[in-house]
Chain A
């Protein structure tokens, strides 16, 4: 029972960076742009956040640094994709490769450095409850902020005019342009928002979750976050749920080891990736369903006639 509470707690904690990144990517995909650079942005933000945390000792500055780095890199992708009309897949891929290389390069001095632990928030009364206390109410503040963010994004997309405009741009950039909406600027902002959230996710990984810097430490989480938007059919609530589920799968190996189950650790480490593949296949198998839910212009180049 106690171990299960710990698994639940660690699922929330491990799922939080996935949820953050995926929520951000969901917003820029709703505007019709896919950013395969998620992994690169997360890595760059992870080292930037870690460096700031080491230097200042302030975790919130670290999150801010991550957000800025992620947002700027996303703006770079936006410049290429939106104004120069480059292929969205190739450009995002370039960012992922570039981010992996550059983060390894600038992070060399930080390998092996330690950070003071930034403690969790113990919610008064609730955290004292048996089982649910440690499972749900003794986490880092970012875990709760992420949940609020999912709610906020849902309300933004479906209850505000700005959210409607964003969805309209993703649905048909031609129509939005004809009505006079600045399609490229809207998409750039959406991309930067997505990048900033990927950045916060990266900083959370290196500053709170691990907490240390290792080359390539995101270990494909950016890609899993990309897959999550599809699993969730572009709905924030489902993104959150999916992220915690994957967080749980990641943590399963420690749970198994704790329980004394004899499985090679490498095979257990494969689990999140295999699970991603399996779930992706299951969720995508109905092309009609995906088509109805996917932003119609996703991945396509839009060039306004001027």
Chain B
């Protein structure tokens, strides 16, 4: 029989290997699923892991999909490091899109390109405001942030619905629930011409660097990590838990809001009830699979983007349901949590009971 035995010290190698083990198990499961559904497993897997990186168009698409995942994931990672369980990035993302979209709708054809700056800022502020509610409720009323942040996702979605079904509905849109298309001046410039990759990806990369520096090289970053790992030690050292709470939630809300804004004035170009394809929830997985580490999140963000693109390809080419993406995402997180046991434990063959002298 196998048994788990605690290691004397956590294994650093396993810390890096465990996401790969989780990915391997998920892939095996995926292959089995394709087989069960009567498709060639290799062809199916190729849609997820080869097709998206085959050419420049594919890579550009990958970067575009990964942008919101990386941004939201970075903010969430800061929250989880500080032991603040914000799971409402989806709502903060939607608010960012609403705020940015609201501003973008007012721009005309003659508006300068620089209008993008206030638009993106509006998005950040929208997300921050939404996360700020969570921080306020926790700080002032001790309300559990898991539940409040999640409830606010639904509220944000209904708010968006109300706007696009009501006051912001495009008067020439044949009564579809969507706004008018934004003016060309408000649309993000492309990073690579003739692809869909825009400067949002570059912004996300800058955020990765800044986040990495913040967490590893600044006192405030150190404070919130201590607060997350050992709240009593933080109190003893005099690191304010309230300050950490507000910092990570505003940071995370700002990042998610920015992601929402980039999505609205990037690939979408208008607001619809479906501005997010569950990016805010997928980003939870991105954060964990990326080891709550800025550079790791780039990789896990790209991986999760592959799942999205692969799911769409599987739908269009193999006629498989798009919902498969969600299955793989959830499975990946499950496998990661289980594999993480190997960081602190090793597997041993159990000895057969107690020997007698």
A interface residues, Cβ below 8 angstroms from B: 36, 40, 76, 80, 83-87, 89-91, 93-95, 97-102, 104-105, 108, 215, 219-220, 223-224, 226-227, 230, 264, 266-267, 269-270, 273-274, 276-277, 280-282, 284-287, 290
Check if A266 sits within 8 Å of B162, measured CB to CB: yes
Check if B154 sits within 8 Å of A273, measured CB to CB: yes
Check if A277 sits within 8 Å of B158, measured CB to CB: no
Check if B284 sits within 8 Å of A266, measured CB to CB: no
Of the candidates B161, B324, B330, B338, the one having the most CB atoms from chain A within 10 angstroms of its own CB is B330
Closest to A109 in B: B321
Interface string of B70-89 (1 = CB under 8 A from A): 00000000000000010100
Whether A102 touches B137, Cβ cut-off 8 Å, given contacts A86-B340, A270-B158, A284-B142, is no
Check if A97 sits within 8 Å of B148, measured CB to CB: no
Using Cβ atoms and an 8 Å threshold, which residues of chain A touch B341? Answer: 84-86
Q: Would you give the shortest CB distance from A292 to chain B, in whole angstroms?
A: 13
The binding surface of chain A is classed by DSSP as helix
For the complex, what is the distance from the CA of A13 to the CA of B340, rounded to whole Å? 43
List B residues 1-15 near A (Cβ within 8 Å).
Answer: 4
Whether A105 touches B321, Cβ cut-off 8 Å, given contacts A86-B340, A277-B151, is yes
How many A-B contacts are there with CB distance less than 8 Å? 143
Q: Would you give the shortest CB distance from B127 to chain A, in whole angstroms?
A: 18
Whether A97 touches B329, Cβ cut-off 8 Å, given contacts A264-B166, A267-B158, A277-B152, is yes
For the complex, what is the distance from the CA of A97 to the CA of B328, rounded to whole Å? 10
Closest to A281 in B: B141
Q: Would you give the shortest CB distance from B336 to chain A, in whole angstroms?
A: 8
Using Cβ atoms and an 8 Å threshold, which residues of chain B touch A282? Answer: 141
The contact of A36 among B140, B146, B152, by CB within 8 Å, is: B146
The contact of B155 among A40, A98, A270, by CB within 8 Å, is: A270
Check if B323 sits within 8 Å of A90, measured CB to CB: no
Check if B162 sits within 8 Å of A97, measured CB to CB: no
The contact of A80 among B143, B285, B338, by CB within 8 Å, is: B338
List B residues 136-189 near A (Cβ within 8 Å).
Answer: 137, 140-144, 146-148, 150-152, 154-155, 158-159, 161-162, 165-166
Whether A276 touches B151, Cβ cut-off 8 Å, given contacts A101-B323, A101-B326, is yes
Whether A86 touches B154, Cβ cut-off 8 Å, given contacts A101-B326, A277-B137, is no
For the complex, what is the distance from the CA of A84 to the CA of B327, rounded to whole Å? 22
The contact of B329 among A101, A264, A284, A290, by CB within 8 Å, is: A101
Using Cβ atoms and an 8 Å threshold, which residues of chain B touch A269? Answer: 158
Q: Would you give the shortest CB distance from B357 to chain A, in whole angstroms?
A: 20
For the complex, what is the distance from the CA of A285 to the CA of B4, rounded to whole Å? 42
The contact of A266 among B85, B158, B323, by CB within 8 Å, is: B158
Check if A290 sits within 8 Å of B327, measured CB to CB: no
Check if A98 sits within 8 Å of B333, measured CB to CB: yes
Using Cβ atoms and an 8 Å threshold, which residues of chain B touch A36? Answer: 146
Closest to B150 in A: A223
Whether A89 touches B323, Cβ cut-off 8 Å, given contacts A97-B330, A227-B147, A285-B142, is no
For the complex, what is the distance from the CA of A83 to the CA of B4, rounded to whole Å? 9
Interface status of B325 (Cβ within 8 A of chain A): yes
List B residues 181-232 near A (Cβ within 8 Å).
Answer: none
The contact of B143 among A86, A108, A277, by CB within 8 Å, is: A277
